[in-house]
Amino acid sequence: MMKEETIRKAYEIAKERYAALGVDTDKVLAQMQDFHLSMHCWQADDVTGFEARKGGLTGGIQVNGNYPGKARNINELRDDILYAMSLIPGKHRLNLHEIYGDFQGKFVDRDEVTPEYFESWIQWGKEHGIKLDFNSTSFSHAKSGDLSLSNPDKSIRDFWIEHSKRCRAISQAIGEAQQDPCIMNTWVHDGSKDITVNRYMYRELLKDSLDQIFEHRYDWMKDCVESKVFGIGLESYTVGSNDFYTAYASKRDMMITLDTGHFHPTESVADKVSAMLLFVPELMLHVSRPIRWDSDHVTIMDDPTMDLFSEIVRAGALNRVHYGLDYFDGTLNRIGAYVIGSRAAQKCMLRALLEPIATLREYELADRKFQRLALLEECKNLPWNAVYDMFCLMNNVPVGESFIAEVEKYEADVTSKR
């Protein structure tokens, strides 16, 4: 591990270098302390959850790999998440799916779930200073099939409407208990493997279901809706497309979720930020790394993710965007995956905050295209990594690659013995 003196010296040099461009690195570090990721609970156990009923993962999603040591119960999952958080600078939230309730072996169908099954999560969050977010769960259920909220069968549709209403009530209870709004995401996998001749009908049914779900307003939770391009086994048609949810969220003045894996590989999710924020109040992000499709690889500091965070800063939207992670990779150490993805998202935000935006805007408005492009390129070489190292040091977490040894130790002492 680098010596503290070396880290501080490197930071002072970086601070001076950025100051010459009008960037206050101390201010950026303060902003980073207020940058809270909503970490996804489902990376720790490959989206298994704790329902008494067990079955395979269905609904257009899948997890690859069988790396040893995944969490097998609620206590192991909580321990793994806390350990991962101890290696990530800053204070972060936890995003729960409904199937992660504390059911204690009792069968509770999804249209019967109540806040009591999340009371231990609420208390756990309070104990550790962790705020919670939430998701309804329409996949991996006997009534999932290809269609849930858009199912022509009213009994199945009503089942999922009731489930979603109950999830909103749970989110309200969580938000009120933690005195901070719980963000609840609604995503359903509904679609068709082959050609459908009833596109309009399914979307009409989905709209009606959503209208019923969102009829009641709550004070301590925020709703968001999430689109998708396609799911595995549902390649030809997705009911809840981006066009559908963009129109729906805009009309209802509600938050929309942008999952970086839920668009065509050539689309720029970054470009959607300013377009959508003119018509919806806030955005929720689900940041992953799609490779050719919604493969949910571990987030890294790649160009699309960097562009996304840069656009948020450039749009002045820091207070209108919420940041969740959404990947699930069973091919590698799962705690390591948490740390890699979380740190990558932080690095992208840090680099975005360190951009000399005032100078760049002056160049652009003066039509000084050469200067603008030249400075954008030089920014890539600025010592942002020294600032991130300082951020880690300030938060008493491993600096640089030294977290690798910590993850390996946890594997040797804990997960390898499961």
Active-site entry in 46, 51, 223, 259: 259
Asked if 296 is an active-site residue, the reply is yes
296 is an annotated ligand-binding site residue: yes
Is 286 designated active site? Answer: yes
Which of 45, 51, 133, 294 is catalytic? The answer is 294
CB burial of 35-55 (b: ≥16 within 10 Å; e: otherwise) equals: bebbbbbbbbbbbbbbbeeee
Residue from 51, 226, 311, 389 carrying the catalytic annotation: 226
Of the candidates 42, 121, 187, 384, the residue annotated as catalytic is 187
Token pair recorded at residue 149: 């909220």
Q: Which of 133, 190, 282, 326 is catalytic?
A: 326
Q: Answer whether 292's CB lies under 8 Å from 332's CB.
A: no
How far is residue 5 from each of residues 68, 141, 200, 315, measured CA to CA in Å? 38, 55, 64, 36
Q: Catalytic: which of 97, 286, 297, 347?
A: 286
Query: Is 294 one of the catalytic residues?
Result: yes
Among residues 167, 256, 173, 257, which one has the least CA distance to residue 220? 173
Active site includes 187? yes
46 is in an annotated binding site: no
Is 262 known as a binding-site position?
Answer: yes
**C-alpha distance across the termini of the chain, in Å:** 29
**Residue from 296, 311, 389, 411 carrying the catalytic annotation:** 296
How far is the CA of 145 from the CAs of 41, 163, 394, in angstroms? 24, 16, 49
Contact 7, 389 (CB under 8 A): yes
92 a catalytic residue: no
Q: Is 226 a catalytic residue?
A: yes
8 Å CB contact between 112 and 27: no
Q: Which of 262, 272, 322, 347 is catalytic?
A: 262
Active site residue 329: no
109 is catalytic: no
Q: What are phi and psi of 214, to 5 degrees?
A: -95, 10
Catalytic residue among 97, 222, 228, 297: 228
Q: Which residues are annotated as a binding site?
A: 262, 294, 296
- Which residues are annotated as part of the binding site for Mn(2+)? 262, 294, 296
Q: Which residues are catalytic?
A: 187, 226, 228, 259, 262, 286, 294, 296, 326
